[in-house]
Chain A
């Protein structure tokens, strides 16, 4: 039994979630403050992967990063790096695909905090950054946990976008969801069942932990 797709999936989810936490938190903060036409456009672009068929996103990423032309060729020639059919490509695709799961819950949580908290901190002479770090972030912990778990779980479940840009290379881009599909194609139902069961268990435990950790919050743990 080859467990490498499981490890690869967990590695992909861990890297994607870490990167998205670092990048998504400031983006969510920026989106939560006021409204402008530019922000609306940015938010729409970030939200697109929620409704777009994953294969469409994967197709465009495949075109954009194909080493034969455009951006992909530039990266190939300048940095000798290739995103298509590589693990890096999977990280990039997952990053874009899972971004709304990180920014969404954090943005709503920040918007639900009373504006007077920020105002009180400013009146005490604190900067925007001090206010963010000491007042805003500590008061949205349940939503941070939700965002992290949703992003991780969503990356575990990716299929279409990963298949389009990464293909099905054992040990490189064959993640668990693709291994399930591949096993069924080969009529190896035992292997498909093992992969599926492991994915099911991991996801179930994660969702349960969010419910347990957020039980003191008087709202749905998945908000």
Chain B
């Protein structure tokens, strides 16, 4: 169970806006997060990951406190270790596909499985610049899964994939999420694409 309540000031186009969310995510659930641009969806994911610090808030994950601004508790991202898929992929330009996964884990069996899942097994020595947009996005997803995270935070993870690839990948991921017993939060602009995958949603106005 993830128990979350945060307040964070956002820089908005016109003046200031406050992101205020209280929500509970059941362990093992897959939640779709949607809402208008600039509402704070990415900020919410980064706050949970420990990459952004809110003015006020408390995050408790499976009875471990990750953040409590009142008591000055703030676990660094290295201790939270979420599987994070960035909207801009955040791939390392100096690393090949294989090097990305090896940077995250030493488990070669797991790496091989992920490469097959993301259909990148024939491109292991390619650097991001030599991958297509869809391949880059898949690599970003695989890298996040490489650490076998218990919490997976995905920011528009399927936006660059063609419909067939998307359907296939989502079906595979659904099984993998179950296997990892991971709690998953997915930000999406396209509510239809996640049909059948998510079991709850959170609207951020």
Contact = CB atoms under 8 A, between A and B. Distances in A.
Given A123-B49, A123-B51, A125-B147, A117 B81 contact: no
B76 interface: yes
A126 B88 CA distance: 20
A127 interface: yes
A187 interface: no
Contact of A120 (B50, B80, B90, B94): B90
A33 to B, nearest CB: 14
Contacts of A119: 46, 49, 51, 77, 84, 86, 90
Contact of B82 (A123, A134, A139): A123
A119 B77 CA distance: 8
Given A119-B51, A119-B77, A124 B90 contact: no
A172 B46 CA distance: 58
A221 B95 CA distance: 23
B192 interface: no
Size class of the contact patch on chain A: 10 to 19
B143 A124 contact: yes
A139 B84 contact: no
Interface size class for chain B? 20 to 34
A5 B90 CA distance: 49
A88 B76 CA distance: 44
Interface string A82-122: 00000000000000000000000000000000101101111
The prevalent SS among residues of A at the interface is helix
Contacts of A34: none
Interface in A121-166: 121-127, 134-135, 138-139
Interface in A36-82: none
A120 B50 CA distance: 11
Interface of B: 46, 49-51, 76-78, 80-84, 86, 88, 90, 92-94, 103-104, 143-144, 146-147
27 contacts: A114-B90, A116-B86, A116-B90, A119-B46, A119-B49, A119-B51, A120-B84, A120-B86, A120-B90, A121-B103, A122-B51, A122-B76, A122-B77, A122-B78, A123-B49, A123-B51, A123-B82, A123-B84, A123-B144, A124-B147, A125-B78, A125-B147, A126-B78, A135-B92, A135-B94, A138-B92, A138-B94
